[in-house]
Amino acid sequence: MSAPVVHPSAIVEDGAELGAGVRIGPFAVVGPRVKLGQGVEVMAHAVVEGNTQVGASTLVFPHAVIGGRPQDVKYKGGDTKLVIGERNVLREGVTINTGTEIGGGVTRLGDGNILMANAHVAHDCVLGNRVILANNVMLAGHVRVHDGAILNGGVGIHHFTTVGTFAYVGGLSRITRDVPPYTIVEGHPSRVRGLNLVGLKRARFPEATIRALKDAYRLLYRSDLPVRDAAARLKVDFAEVQEVQELVRFIEASGSGRLGRQGEEPGRAFAP
C-alpha cells in the first residue's frame, strides 16, 4: 500500500504514527500520541487527539473530534486512552472521549461500527462490533453496547447502562435501564415492546432460534409468571438454545446490578 498522504494545510504533530495508505484531509489535526492504522482517512477539519489508536480502514468524517478529554469533573488529567477497531465509520461531528482514571482508563470501540452525524460516545464506554448509532445519539459515561445493536436518532443512554446484542432502540427514547438482547425498546419512559425480528432475520439467525426467542419473550413479558420463575423455566426448556440462555443471563444480571452496573460506586473501576 502507498505511503501516507497529508494535505499541506493539515497539522500532523511530531510523534503521530501513520500507517500505509493513510489520508489526512485539509485543515485536519492529528495529535502527537495518535496511531492511525493502515488505510485510515481523516477528512477535512476533523481532529484526532489524545492517546488514541484508530484501526485500519476507519473513516473519520469532517468536524469529528476523536480522543478528546472526558467531560467528567472527576477527571484529573490522567493518561487515559481511546482504542478504536477496524472499518469504523465516524460521520460528521461525532465526538468520542478517552476514558477516566476511575472508570478503567479506556474508551473502546470494536470493528465495523457506524456512528452517524453528531453522535457522542462519552468516557469509558465500550462498544462491540457492527453497532449503529444514528444521528444525535448520546451515550453517557460507562455505557456498554453489545454486538449488532442499533440505537436510532436522538436516543439518550443513562450512564452505567448496558444495551444487549441485537437490541433495537427506538428514536428519541430515554434509556435509564438495561436493554435486553434481541428486543425492541422505545418510549419515554422506555419499555420492551417486542422482539427485534427484522434484525434477527437480517442477521440470518436460524428459524428455530427465532421461534425459541419468541417463546422466551412471551414467557418473560406476556405471561403472568414472575420474571424469576419464567427465567428458571427457560433455563430448563431451552437449555440448548444459546440465545435464550444469553437473554436469561442478561435479565438476571441486570436485576442484580452486575451487568448494567447502575449501582457501581464512584471510584470503583471495571475492566473494559
Report the alpha-carbon distance of residue 80 to residue 106 in Å, rounded: 6
For the question of residue 7 being annotated catalytic, the response is: no
**pLDDT tens column, 141-188:** 999 999 999 999 999 999 999 999 999 999 999 999 999 999 999 998
Q: What global pTM score does this model have?
A: 0.94
For the question of residue 123 being annotated catalytic, the response is: yes
Report the alpha-carbon distance of residue 113 to residue 127 in Å, rounded: 8
For the question of residue 124 being annotated catalytic, the response is: yes
Which residue is catalytic, options 120, 123, 158, 159? 123
| Sign (positive or negative) of CA dihedral 192, 226, 166, 132 | positive
Q: How distant, in Å, are the alpha carbons of 58, 106, 203, 230 from that of 103?
A: 26, 8, 33, 34
Which residue is catalytic, options 141, 148, 164, 170? 141
Report the alpha-carbon distance of residue 111 to residue 264 in Å, rounded: 28
Mean pLDDT (the chain, rounded)? 94
H or E stretch covering 48: strand 47-48
User: Please, what is the Cα angle at 131 between 270 and 181, to 5 degrees?
Assistant: 70
Which residues have C-beta within 8 Å of that of residue 167, sequence separation ≥ 6?
Answer: 146, 149, 150, 179, 180, 181, 182, 183, 184, 185, 196
Bridge partner list, 84? 54, 109
Q: Can you give the C-alpha Rg of the chain in angstroms?
A: 20
Report the alpha-carbon distance of residue 22 to residue 28 in Å, rounded: 13
Which three-class secondary structure state does DSSP give residue 134? Answer: coil
Q: Are the beta carbons of 48 and 42 closer than 8 angstroms?
A: yes
Q: Which amino acid is at 236?
A: V
C-alpha cell at 8: 499541506
**pLDDT tens column, 185-216:** 999 889 999 999 999 999 999 999 999 999 99
Which residue is catalytic, options 111, 124, 147, 178? 124
**146 — phi, psi (to 5°)?**
-85, 170
Query: Domains in the chain, please, with CATH?
Result: 5-196 (2.160.10.10), 200-256 (1.20.1180)
**pLDDT tens column, 48-95:** 999 999 999 999 999 999 999 999 999 999 999 999 999 999 999 999
